[in-house]
C-alpha cells in the first residue's frame, strides 16, 4: 500500500477588516476547541482592540493587519492572529499578536492541539517564503507558559534554524478551586485562611454584606461610569486611565455584557457599592480582569471580602479555577494564587547567504 502523503495546508493572508469579518463564525467556533480558549482571542474582542489601537497603546505606530489563516478542504484549521507595526526606533517592521501587550492578558495561536505541530510547521515555512508580509521578524507576546505552543514552536524553530529568544513578561497567578468554600480555604496557608475568615466575619457583623450582580442593560452605563470613577481613586490606575484607555475599557465591558460572559459584581455594604470586580467566565474558569474599591469603606476590607464571596460564588458554579491574571499583587497569593508565567517569544528566520 502506498504511503499516505500529507499535503501542506493552504494559507491565506487577511489584511482588511472586511476579510476578517467574513470568517467571524469560523473563528469563534475554532477558538472554542483551541489550545488556549482565551476571552482575549475572540473575534469581537480583537476587532475592538484593533479599532482602538489597543486602547491607544499602538496609536503612534504605522500598523497593518497580517492575519494568517490555514485551510484544508475548505475547513479552517488554524489562525495566526497577527499584525505588523513599524518600530519607530529602528525603522523596521515586526510581526506580533493582535492584542499585545498591555490590555490583553493571554494570547496565542488559534488551533486544535492535535493539529498544532502541523500548523506551526507549515506556518513557519509560509512566513519564511511569503513576499506579501512586511517582515519576517516575530515578537509574539502574552503567551502563557502552560500553552503547548511554547514547547512546539521552540522545537520547530530550532529544527528550522530560526533564532529564538524567550522573555518572561509577568507572572499570572491562578487560584485552584475545590468542592466547597471550606475545602478551598483548607488548601491555602493557615494564616491566610484565618485572615480571610476574620475579615468576612468582621464585615458581616457590622453591616449587611452581599454580592450584587449587574445584569440589567438599562443600568449598565451607570455602573460602568461608577466603576471607572472608583478606579480613578487609585493613583496607579488613574495614570492608566487616559481617554483612549477609558474608551477601550467601556467598549470592552459593553461587548462582554452583550456576549453574555461578563460577571460584573459589586460588594454591597448596607446597600452601598463598596468594591467592584469585572470578570469574564469562559469554560471552567473565572478570569478576574479588573477591580476597584471605595476608600470610604476601608474598615470593612472590601477588596478581601468581595474576592472571598466571588470565589465562593465561582465554586457554586462548579468552576475549576479563578484566574487572577497578570500581575504579582500580594493579595492574589494570600488567596492561594499559584504562579504561571506570561512570555514573549522573539523569532528571526534563518539567514540566507548568497
- Cell 470613577 identifies what position? 229
pLDDT at residue 141, as a whole number: 97
Q: Is the dihedral of CA 122, 128, 129, 131 positive or negative?
A: positive
Q: How many helices (H) and strands (E) does the chain have?
A: 12, 16
- CA 241/CA 246 separation, integer angstroms: 6
Q: Is 294 helix (H, G, I), strand (E, B) or coil?
A: coil
Pair (189, 308) in one structural domain = yes
Pair (167, 183) in one structural domain = no
Residue 79 lies in a domain: yes
Pair (159, 183) in one structural domain = no
pLDDT at 1 over 70: no
Residue 354 lies in a domain: no
The three cell numbers of residue 16 are 482588511
Pair (182, 157) in one structural domain = no
- CA 337/CA 354 separation, integer angstroms: 53
Pair (157, 186) in one structural domain = no
Residue 64 lies in a domain: yes
pLDDT at residue 352, as a whole number: 59
pLDDT at 353 over 90: no
Pair (112, 191) in one structural domain = no
Pair (194, 152) in one structural domain = no
Residue 96 belongs to domain with CATH number: 3.40.630.30
Pair (157, 181) in one structural domain = no
pLDDT at 351 over 90: no
Bridge-based pairing state of the strands 321-323 and 285-293: parallel
Pair (242, 112) in one structural domain = no
Residue 3 lies in a domain: no
Pair (199, 139) in one structural domain = no
pLDDT band of residue 4 (cuts 50, 70, 90) is very low
Report yes or no: 43 and 24 within 8 Å, Cβ to Cβ: yes
Could you tell me which residue, 235 or 134, shows the higher pLDDT? Answer: 134
Helices 43-51 and 243-259, packing angle to 10 deg: 160
pLDDT band of residue 305 (cuts 50, 70, 90) is very high
pLDDT band of residue 8 (cuts 50, 70, 90) is confident
pLDDT at residue 318, as a whole number: 97
3-state secondary structure 163-228: EEEEEEEEECCEEECCCCHHHHHHCCCHHHHHHHHHHHHHHHHHCCEEEEECCCHHHHHHHHHHHH
What kind and span of H or E run contains 19? Answer: helix 17-22
Task: For the chain, report the end-to-end CA distance as a whole number of angstroms.
Answer: 42
pTM of this prediction? 0.92
Report yes or no: 227 and 276 within 8 Å, Cβ to Cβ: yes
Residue 4 lies in a domain: no
Neighbours of 294 (CB within 10 A): 20
The three cell numbers of residue 27 are 473563528
Residues 163-167 have a mean pLDDT of 93
Pair (188, 122) in one structural domain = no
Residues 297-302 have a mean pLDDT of 96
Residue 18 lies in a domain: yes
pLDDT band of residue 236 (cuts 50, 70, 90) is confident
Pair (215, 316) in one structural domain = yes
How many folded domains does the chain comprise? 2
Determine the structural domain holding residue 214 and report its residue range. 174-334
Residue 253 lies in a domain: yes
Cβ neighbours of residue 187 closer than 8 Å, sequence gap 6 or more: 176, 178, 336
The three cell numbers of residue 148 are 503547548
3-state helix, strand, coil in the chain (%, to 5): 40, 30, 30
Residue 5 lies in a domain: no
Bridge-based pairing state of the strands 341-348 and 163-171: antiparallel
Amino acid at each position: 500500500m502506498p504511503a499516505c502523503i500529507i499535503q501542506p495546508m493552504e494559507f491565506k493572508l487577511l489584511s482588511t477588516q472586511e476579510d476578517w469579518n467574513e470568517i467571524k463564525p469560523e473563528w469563534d467556533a475554532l477558538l472554542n476547541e483551541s489550545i488556549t480558549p482565551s476571552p482575549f482571542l475572540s473575534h469581537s474582542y480583537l476587532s475592538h482592540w484593533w479599532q482602538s489601537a489597543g486602547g491607544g497603546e499602538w496609536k503612534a505606530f504605522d500598523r497593518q493587519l497580517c492575519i494568517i489563516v490555514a485551510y484544508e478542504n475548505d475547513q479552517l484549521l488554524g489562525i495566526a492572529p497577527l499584525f505588523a507595526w513599524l518600530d519607530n526606533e529602528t525603522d523596521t517592521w515586526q510581526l506580533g499578536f493582535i492584542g499585545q501587550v498591555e490590555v490583553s492578558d493571554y494570547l496565542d495561536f488559534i488551533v486544535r492541539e492535535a493539529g498544532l505541530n502541523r500548523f506551526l510547521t507549515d506556518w513557519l515555512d509560509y512566513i519564511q517564503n511569503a513576499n506579501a508580509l512586511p517582515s519576517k521578524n516575530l515578537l509574539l507576546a502574552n503567551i502563557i507558559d502552560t500553552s503547548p505552543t511554547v514547547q512546539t514552536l521552540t522545537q520547530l524553530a530550532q529544527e528550522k534554524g530560526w533564532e529564538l529568544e524567550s522573555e518572561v513578561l509577568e507572572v499570572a497567578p491562578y487560584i485552584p478551586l475545590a468542592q466547597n468554600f471550606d475545602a478551598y480555604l483548607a488548601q491555602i496557608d493557615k494564616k491566610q485562611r484565618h485572615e480571610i475568615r476574620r475579615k468576612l466575619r468582621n464585615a458581616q457583623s457590622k453591616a449587611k454584606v452581599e454580592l450584587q450582580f449587574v445584569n440589567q442593560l438599562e443600568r449598565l452605563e451607570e455602573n460602568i461610569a461608577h466603576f471607572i470613577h472608583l478606579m480613578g481613586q487609585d493613583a496607579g490606575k488613574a495614570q492608566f486611565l487616559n481617554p483612549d484607555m477609558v474608551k477601550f475599557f467601556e467598549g470592552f465591558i459593553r461587548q462582554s455584557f452583550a456576549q453574555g460572559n461578563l460577571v460584573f459584581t459589586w460588594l454591597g455594604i448596607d446597600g452601598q457599592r463598596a468594591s467592584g470586580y469585572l470578570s469574564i467566565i469562559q469554560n471552567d474558569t473565572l478570569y478576574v480582569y479588573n477591580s476597584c474599591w471605595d476608600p470610604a469603606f476601608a474598615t470593612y476590607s472590601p477588596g478581601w471580602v468581595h474576592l472571598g464571596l466571588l470565589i465562593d460564588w465561582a465554586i457554586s458554579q462548579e468552576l475549576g479555577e479563578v484566574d487572577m491574571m497578570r500581575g504579582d499583587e500580594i493579595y492574589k497569593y494570600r488567596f492561594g494564587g499559584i504562579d504561571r508565567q506570561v512570555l514573549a517569544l522573539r523569532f528571526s528566520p534563518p539567514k540566507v547567504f548568497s
